[in-house]
């Protein structure tokens, strides 16, 4: 059981790190602002989500798990909203469009 949980952690955190890397490469390489934002949202949603999932077996208690999941939800919420706001500025021909 412990081995299975550890394997889940290793797999999920590695996958999360992969999404972080992919998102970072996207942020650096994509041609325009909207595409770069698209890359960033993947990091927020999937990357952080997988890392939180991987850490869940190790927090030692439902309260800690709840906090971790709340962090993920809050980051998702703020990420989505900030992305919308930046995209709005870009569409109106804001700076560095």
Partner 1 sequence: MTMTFAFEIVLAVLLLAIATWSIAARHAFDAVVVFVVYGLLLAIVWVKLSAVDVALTEAAIGSGLTGALLLGAAGRLRAGGAPAAERPGAILRLGAAVLSATIAAALAAGVLFLPDPAPTLAPAVAENAAATSLGNPVTNVLIAFRAMDTMLEKVVLLLALVGVWSLAPDRLWGGRPGPRHQADPRGVLAFFARLLPPVGIVVGIYILWVGADHPGGAFQGGTILAAMWLLVMLAGLTDTPPVSRRSLRLVLIAGPAAFLIVGLGGLWLGDAFLAYPAVYAKPLILAIEFAMTLTIAVTLGLLLAGPPERAEQR
Among residues 58, 78, 89, 94, which is the contact residue for partner 1, using CB under 8 A? 78
Residue 66: exposure state from Cβ atoms within 10 A (0-12, 13-18, ≥19): exposed
Q: Which is nearer to partner 1, 1 or 6 (CB)?
A: 6
Residues making up the chain, counted from first to last: 97
Among residues 85, 91, 94, 97, which is the contact residue for partner 1, using CB under 8 A? 85
With binding defined as CB under 8 A, does residue 14 bind partner 1?
A: no
Of 51, 24, 7, 33, whose CA–CA distance to 88 is shortest? Answer: 33
Among residues 29, 84, 89, 94, which is the contact residue for partner 1, using CB under 8 A? 84
């Amino acid at each position: 059981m412990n081995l299975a949980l550890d394997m889940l952690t290793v797999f999920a955190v590695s996958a999360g790190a992969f999404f972080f890397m992919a998102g970072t490469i996207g942020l650096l390489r994509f041609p325009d602002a909207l595409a770069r934002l698209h890359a960033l949202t993947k990091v927020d949603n999937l990357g952080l989500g997988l890392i939180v999932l991987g850490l869940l077996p190790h927090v030692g208690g439902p309260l800690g798990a709840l906090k971790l999941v709340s962090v993920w939800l809050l980051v998702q919420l703020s990420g989505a909203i900030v992305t919308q706001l930046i995209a709005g500025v870009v569409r109106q021909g804001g700076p560095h469009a």
